[in-house]
Amino acid sequence: MNVFGVDIGGSGIKGAPVDLDRGELVEPRHKVLTPHPAAPEPVADCVAEVVRHFGWSGPVGVTFPGVVTGSVIRTAANVDKNWIDVDAAELLHERLGVPVTVLNDADAAGVAEMTFGAGKGRKGTVMLLTLGTGIGSALFVDGRLVPNTELGHLELHGHEAEKRASTKVKEDEGLSWEHWARRVQKYLAHLEMLFSPELFILGGGVSRKADKFIPLLHHIRAEIVPAQLRNNAGIVGAAMTAAARHD
């Protein structure tokens, strides 16, 4: 069964049809740059461009970088604040003319990783973190998602965690892998103190370079592994959620 997934990020909006039996993209994903400002209407136009690139006409799952309750956006840290209180599924349905499901971006990535990737078969407390423009989080207890945790906004040493340890901060400040890894380690230690997970899964685009920073993370009791679906996890999880809602 194939369903379409779209991942809205702070820098890019990407999507593709997904084979839900294998958890893999059917075709190479299509990506467009996130508009600035990333207001509802311009972003909806970009989502429509990605979907129409494939001539898709079935249900679509879409991730959003913020808290989503039902299909209403409640926070918008890395996109335009005009998203707050918008029914994103309704907006995108009007634009696409197909059923649309919307969920938090890290939750989508986590659902995919727990089904097809690094978290498959894992019980206990598992935490996925997406390191990118910001830091997204997905928390699972015995395989069940605790939605909308948004733990990238925790305060860490007087700063919002994602303002110190995201991939964007590494790039903007020109940090070495060693310097950045020390910041990530402090963040993981804080999360470990609060939640005591057995496993951290580190995702986002930087997971492609996991060998450059995961070996530098020390003094964390939990196992630390890279996301196996890499930066496609959000697309896969969005498609999975859309399929479950419109089955």
In a domain, 112, yes or no: no
Say yes or no: 97 and 129 in one domain: no
Average pLDDT, the chain: 96
What is the structure's pLDDT at 116?
98
In a domain, 183, yes or no: yes
Average pLDDT of 184-188? 98
φ and ψ at residue 160, rounded to 5 degrees:
-65, 130
Q: Which of 71, 67, 48 is nearest to 150 (CA)?
A: 67
Going by pLDDT thresholds of 50, 70 and 90, the confidence category of residue 246 is confident
Q: Which residues contact 212 (CB under 8 A, 6 or more apart)?
A: 177
Say yes or no: 70 and 131 in one domain: no
Say yes or no: 100 and 122 in one domain: no
pLDDT in tens, 203-227: 998 999 999 999 999 999 999 999 9
**In which domain, by residue range, is 73 found?**
2-104
Residue 40 has pLDDT above 80, yes or no: yes
Q: Which residues contact 145 (CB under 8 A, 6 or more apart)?
A: 107, 110, 111, 114, 138, 139
Measured between alpha carbons, how far is 233 from 111 in angstroms, rounded to an integer?
Answer: 8
Residue 247 has pLDDT above 80, yes or no: no
What is the structure's pLDDT at 119?
98
Measured between alpha carbons, how far is 10 from 15 in angstroms, rounded to an integer?
Answer: 14
Percent share of the chain, pLDDT over 70: 100
Say yes or no: 134 and 180 in one domain: yes
* Residue whose token pair is 């075709």: 27
Residue 12 has pLDDT above 90, yes or no: yes
pLDDT in tens, 99-113: 999 999 999 999 999
Say yes or no: 93 and 63 in one domain: yes
Average pLDDT of 109-123? 98
Going by pLDDT thresholds of 50, 70 and 90, the confidence category of residue 2 is very high
Count Cβ neighbours within 10 Å for each residue of 145-167 and write b for 16 or more, e otherwise: bebbbbbbbbebeeebbbebbbb
In a domain, 237, yes or no: no
CATH number at residue 199: 3.30.420.40
Say yes or no: 213 and 126 in one domain: yes
Say yes or no: 145 and 203 in one domain: yes
Going by pLDDT thresholds of 50, 70 and 90, the confidence category of residue 233 is very high
Say yes or no: 136 and 209 in one domain: yes
Residue 19: exposed, middle, or buried by beta-carbon count in 10 A (0-12, 13-18, 19+)?
middle
pLDDT in tens, 48-96: 999 999 999 999 999 999 999 999 999 998 899 999 999 999 999 999 9
Say yes or no: 95 and 143 in one domain: no
Measured between alpha carbons, how far is 69 from 89 in angstroms, rounded to an integer?
Answer: 11
Task: Single out the residue in 53, 76, 104 at which a domain terminates.
Answer: 104
In the chain, the number of structural domains is 2
More reliable by pLDDT, 189 or 245: 189
85-90's contacts with Cβ under 8 Å and 24+ in sequence apart are 86/40, 88/40, 88/62, 88/64, 89/62
Residue 245 has pLDDT above 90, yes or no: no
What is the structure's pLDDT at 140?
98
pLDDT in tens, 131-158: 998 999 999 999 999 999 999 999 988 9
Most trustworthy range by pLDDT among 153-157, 192-196, 230-234: 192-196
Say yes or no: 98 and 156 in one domain: no
